[in-house]
Structure 1
């Protein structure tokens, strides 16, 4: 062995052990991944996701302004197949030309079943009627200044029926992300979330525990990496949260939609869907991570 090789080897082993320790400290573990293929030119580009409480059905929205509903077939708890029950365009509150302005990114479904979507091309949040017609909610003054391709990426609703939305990018690389809350007919700034180098928010949901879960994505020019953080909504300081899991580059596709629910064993599940950007080199992937032991 050459001089200095043992030192470099020790340093490399230390880094590996440190990385393993960090992963061991993250409470969520990968349960399964399902690649979803459908022979339909409209299929793909999914950025928002909601899974029913029993894990047996889903709703997804695409960045071309379409909404899909489907029934989930499971084997030993993992997704084995999905049957589409409804698939069609969302009736926006006004014509969207060019088509990029139909970019529905966030999806939230209230406890009573009312559906809300957020748009990135036109920074707004819409409430959908039972017939799919959209009504625009009042804007927050800050919405007008958001970048067109980094606007209202995240949409979630808490147990009290209050909506939360946030942009994909903050005002600066080291500035926290604002999170706006819609209550009593208006948006207010509810809290801020710290920004971490290499990650941007793309999806969010509330769990049964009342915590806010944020899906974040990183891209290094070769592939995507994924992270979920959990936030207890207390205090007014920017929240850093706890990392639930961090998936390295190329483990998953471009995960953008997140749904948090509790399975039959009492565990919290994080179900995510990827936006394939309608590209052949990418895929529509549904990934599920699980937190906790049975009955926890």
Structure 2
């Protein structure tokens, strides 16, 4: 998401340097790594996928750039992230995606090794068999046309059946709930909704290796960014057993927008998140990790 208010961003940046306390419900903060790189395409990260037991990253910029990186760790801390490749996210005709057409926000890794990417601007989800490949755009139902231009598919996740779940950042049902759109390989449906709580908005989602559905949310105010992580069991009757894993105070982290839930070498459940620096010098790309309870 491109934050609209310069006043909000400036205030957030002033507070970002002074980490606030985390209102941790169940999760434990393991560490935060500030990732720097000199390339002009580096930044604006809106999605992340952790690979190779925490030693690899796939990250997506909201300016239609896909990046792979190798991660070095000392204990639980990330100490280095090295870019090993970067590619443009292309159209179905193999062209670059400029401006709002290329506002890529969510990523979900397909069982066949490809990936799905969700977009704002022109609200859609597309499949890519490999980095740098042409897009195969999924059908777009009429409901997508009602989404706000800068508030649609920030969050995208895939379950163990290969079904996709896409959540708009701002659009709500008549009852104020968060609609969840599911693609089962043939059609889109809205199988369930999630409760919206407070001023937090969905920015990323993932199905963890435990089978539960995780949702990263963000709240923005004149005093900065806050983050919250919730999870549910998804059953035949929809979501249940909602848990708030953490909720941060303002300025604890930068503008967290990407989420990946995975298990480390010790079989512990982790959440890795990445921030969108909005390509502003005073913000930072931050990779944040939490230990989660099973």
Q: Name the TM tier (shorter chain).
A: 0.7 to 0.9
Aligned pairs (5 A) from 1:206-221 = 206-221=207-222
The match for 2:123 is 123
The match for 1:46 is 45
Q: Deviations over 1:195-237 (max 9, x none)?
A: 1111000001001111000000011112100000001113546
The match for 2:58 is 59
CA positional deviation for 1:170: 2.6
Let me know the Cα RMSD of the aligned residues.
2.1
Deviates more, 1:104-113 or 1:42-51: 104-113
Give the secondary structure class of the aligned counterpart of 2:43: coil
Give the secondary structure class of the aligned counterpart of 2:145: helix
**How far apart are the structure 1 equivalents of 2:244 and 2:200?**
12
CA positional deviation for 1:146: 0.6
The match for 1:113 is 113
Aligned pairs (5 A) from 1:1-296 = 23=23, 26-93=25-92, 99-130=99-130, 131-171=132-172, 175-234=176-235, 236=237, 241-292=242-293
Which runs of 5 or more residues in structure 1 are unaligned?
Answer: 1-19
C-alpha distance 238-54 of structure 1, shift in aligned 2 (>3 A)? closer
Q: Which of the pair has more CA radius of gyration?
A: 1
C-alpha distance 277-173 of structure 1, shift in aligned 2 (>3 A)? farther
CA positional deviation for 1:117: 0.2
Residues matched between the structures, number: 272
**How far apart are the structure 1 equivalents of 2:193 and 2:183?**
15
Q: Deviations over 1:247-281 (max 9, x none)?
A: 11000000000000001111110000000000112
Deviates more, 1:215-224 or 1:95-104: 95-104
Deviates more, 1:255-264 or 1:235-244: 235-244
The match for 1:17 is none
C-alpha distance 244-115 of structure 1, shift in aligned 2 (>3 A)? same
CA positional deviation for 1:44: 0.3
Deviates more, 1:278-287 or 1:87-96: 87-96
Give the secondary structure class of the aligned counterpart of 2:156: strand
Give the secondary structure class of the aligned counterpart of 2:100: helix
Would you say the 8 A contact 1:48–1:105 is kept in 2?
yes
**How far apart are the structure 2 equivalents of 1:237 and 1:73?**
39
CA positional deviation for 1:283: 0.4
The match for 2:7 is none
C-alpha distance 53-211 of structure 1, shift in aligned 2 (>3 A)? farther
CA positional deviation for 1:191: 1.1
Deviates more, 1:102-111 or 1:126-135: 126-135
**How far apart are the structure 1 equivalents of 2:137 and 2:266?**
39
CA positional deviation for 1:72: 0.6
**How far apart are the structure 2 equivalents of 1:99 and 1:236?**
40
Would you say the 8 A contact 1:194–1:238 is kept in 2?
no
> TM-score, normalising length from structure 2?
0.87
